[in-house]
Amino acid sequence: MKNKNIVVIGGNSGIGAEVISKLEKQGAIVYSYSKSLSGDSHLDVTTDFKDIQGLPEIIDGLVYCPGTINLKPFHRFSIEDFKNDFEINLLGAVKVLQACLKGMKKSDTASVVLYSTVAVGVGLGFHSSIASAKGAVEGLTRSLAAEWAPNKIRVNCVAPSLTDTPLANQLLGNDDKKEASNKRHPLGRYGQPQDIAAATVYLLSDDASWMTGQILHLDGGMSSVKGI
């Protein structure tokens, strides 16, 4: 990753912060943007932007981290709830991808990493809104991987299960919730940011140069293994 220009959207905490830490340790040049940052680094993905200030001329990697966890029974979701999840998870990614495309075309090894959720491939109650939005992200991943392959731009997606981030505080707020979450995963534990960050850095790296259009299920076995 040494001297590669990597753009990280939403890298101020959780998985994004861990991704940035790993990238910088490997010598990457990271351009971080977030709603909570100021100046040229401020970016609210829900606004109607077309350009992102301060992008490098050549972009070797892009990581889109903004997401939501909005869980409740289907009958309690409003149309605005669905729109909000789509705005942050899908449309924000679309706007960022469009803003970064020119720079990625100038790289010989550009790689995009998006994020989905285990709830797209496994039916989980109360997940109808986020599963719908992230399902769209998976479709976008495959479509862009095909469209951008001639430009040597790889597009992959990581689909985690529950991971210990600030966004998941409501689900991991006490020891009982943590233990219950551990038991739901065949490997006996919920995810940590470094688990997802390690996979992200791999997908950005030249070690994954023959990998595109893939949904990487990083979920403690939840999507494919039945626990004992």
Strands 154-160 and 61-64: unpaired
Provide CB contacts within 8 A for 172, sequence distance 6+.
162, 164, 178, 181, 190
The pair of three-digit structure tokens given for residue 155, joined into one six-digit string: 């597009």
Quick check: helix, strand or coil at residue 19?
helix
3-state SS of 154-215? EEEEEEECCECCHHHCCCCCCHHHHHHHHHCCCCCCCECHHHHHHHHHHHHCHHHCCCCCCE
- Write out the catalytic residue numbers: 116, 134
Q: Do residues 140 and 93 lie in contact, with contact meaning Cβ atoms separated by under 8 Å? A: yes
Q: Show the beta-strand stretches assigned E in 4-55.
A: 5-9, 29-33
Provide CB contacts within 8 A for 47, sequence distance 6+.
none
- Residue 53: phi and psi, rounded to 5, are -70, 140
Tallying the residues shown for the chain, one arrives at 228
